[in-house]
């Protein structure tokens, strides 16, 4: 691993610890000085680290992860989601921030659990720890996360979704995907990120709906169930959201509990809060 990559991971480790602390003590609204002392940094140094990493100050980040802020995000979610559904996934009025073009494999292909597919993978530094990027000849099919030392477990987790596929490590192939995914300046409508869904018809419908939740907004499982015409299927929607194989790109992190509570996230609630905070900064910058 390069010196730059190591430095990025060390920065994330500091921020990750800070997020865990803020999650537990957010009601106390700890000052920058208190946070800096915990991180063994100067207040100015911590301020610069947060600004560089998330595009907002520690105080702004703290505000972004409180439940009150989550409820504010939810306030207009139904109308936003309805608008996105009306607009669809193509055309100049598109609301999806990553400009994704996607396709789903047939149910028959899904039942084969990846048989006949070759999936290339690689680990790359990201703002949220190591990103496990997985691609087929059709495009991005998987994105997971790991902390340092947890690479093998993350790979085993993702491989279990398609146990009959052939896997090969090819970081050179996956690196351009990672670069496009985590650099907002590369999100271009005329150069969409190509992804492939491998799941059941129901799961794919849920994941397609997730793609329509705009940056900086959130929705609920019940709203998604309504959007796909299955108003009584909120629990099944929750299961499908939990199985989303392309984290971050397909924004399952933007789904909250009915009252705005932070609900479970496959890659950890701390990481979910980190992603939402990062997106808050991106939305403000945009």
CA distances 124 to 1, 139, 155, Å, are 10, 17, 13
Angle at 283 between CA 217 and CA 222, to 5 degrees: 10
Select which of 81, 154, 237, 252 is catalytic. 252
* Residue 252 annotated to the active site: yes
Overall size of the chain counted in residues = 286
List all residues 6 or more positions away from 74 whose beta carbon is below 8 Å from its beta carbon: 218, 219, 220, 256, 260
Of 15, 6, 9, nearest in space to 126 by CA: 9
Helix (H) or strand (E) holding 193: strand 193-197
Q: Please, what is the angle between helix 43-54 and helix 32-39, to 10°?
A: 90
List all residues 6 or more positions away from 229 whose beta carbon is below 8 Å from its beta carbon: none
State the catalytic residues.
Answer: 252
């Amino acid at each position: 691993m390069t010196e730059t990559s190591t430095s990025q991971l060390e920065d994330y480790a500091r921020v990750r610890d800070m997020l865990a602390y803020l999650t537990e003590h957010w009601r106390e609204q700890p000052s920058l000085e208190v946070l800096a002392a915990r991180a063994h940094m100067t207040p100015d140094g911590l301020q610069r680290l947060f600004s560089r990493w998330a595009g907002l100050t520690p105080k702004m980040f703290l505000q972004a992860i409180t439940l009150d802020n989550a409820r504010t995000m939810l306030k207009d979610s139904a109308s936003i989601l309805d608008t996105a559904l009306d607009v669809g996934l193509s055309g100049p009025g598109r609301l999806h921030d990553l400009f994704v073009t996607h396709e789903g494999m047939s149910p028959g292909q899904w039942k084969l659990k990846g048989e006949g597919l070759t999936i290339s993978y690689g680990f790359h530094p990201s703002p949220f720890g190591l990103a496990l990027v997985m691609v087929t000849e059709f495009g991005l099919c998987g994105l997971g996360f790991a902390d340092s030392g947890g690479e093998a477990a993350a790979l085993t987790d993702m491989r279990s979704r398609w146990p009959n596929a052939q896997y090969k490590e090819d970081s050179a192939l996956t690196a351009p995907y990672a670069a496009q995914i985590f650099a907002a300046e590369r999100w271009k409508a005329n150069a969409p990120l190509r992804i492939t869904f491998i799941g059941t018809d129901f799961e794919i419908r849920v994941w397609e709906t997730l793609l329509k939740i705009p940056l900086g907004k959130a929705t609920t499982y019940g709203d998604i169930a309504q959007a796909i015409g299955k108003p009584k299927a909120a629990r099944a929607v929750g299961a499908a959201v939990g199985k989303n194989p392309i984290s971050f790109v397909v924004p399952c992190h933007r789904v909250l509990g009915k009252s705005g509570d932070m609900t479970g996230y496959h890659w950890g609630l701390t990481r979910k809060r980190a992603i939402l905070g990062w997106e808050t900064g991106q939305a403000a910058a945009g």
